[in-house]
Amino acid sequence: MIPPRRTVLYCAYAPQGRDSHGTPIDAWGVSEQVSVYAWAPAATSQPIIGNRRPVTIDVDLLVPLPIPNAPRSHWILQGQTFEQVGEVEDFTTGPRPGSPGGRIKLRKVTG
């Protein structure tokens, strides 16, 4: 078993009520330190959306299971805040016994 060697901050997505249109009001909980295995090098893209050219940064976070996680939660890696996209991908159910954990897709959009 590989021990987790890095720590990151995790802030659970916790919407606070609803606005006048019934849309959840975005909010995040208090950050907590979480041990992870590693993260893959960032993949970036710069699509043209109307007259905007936002930069999208995608990162795969490799984690031991179980681990706190929820879609839209924030993960802080080396001072940069990323948003979780979807649920954790569980690799422990594969054909090889002893798979150590899972993967969480993270995304940051600027511009």
Amino acid at the residue 49? I
Integer distance in angstroms from the first to the last C-alpha of the chain? 41
Instruction: State the pLDDT at residue 1.
Output: 67
Domain ranges for the chain, please list them.
Answer: 6-110
Instruction: Tokens for 76, please give them.
Output: 């802080």
Distance CA 75, CA 42 (A): 14
> Are residues 9 and 32 in contact, defined by beta-carbon separation less than 8 angstroms?
yes
β-pairing, 38-39 vs 55-64, is: antiparallel
Q: What local confidence, expressed as pLDDT, does residue 78 receive?
A: 93
pLDDT at 94 (0 to 100): 76
Identify the pLDDT of residue 70: 93
Please count the residues of the chain: 111
Radius of gyration of the chain (CA): 16
Predicted model pTM: 0.86
The pLDDT profile of the chain, 111 residues, written as one tens digit per residue, is 678 899 999 999 999 999 999 999 999 999 999 999 999 988 888 777 777 778 899 999 999 999 999 999 999 999 999 999 999 999 888 777 667 789 999 999 987
* CATH match for 6-110 among 2.40.10, 1.10.3470, 2.60.40, 3.90.320: 2.40.10
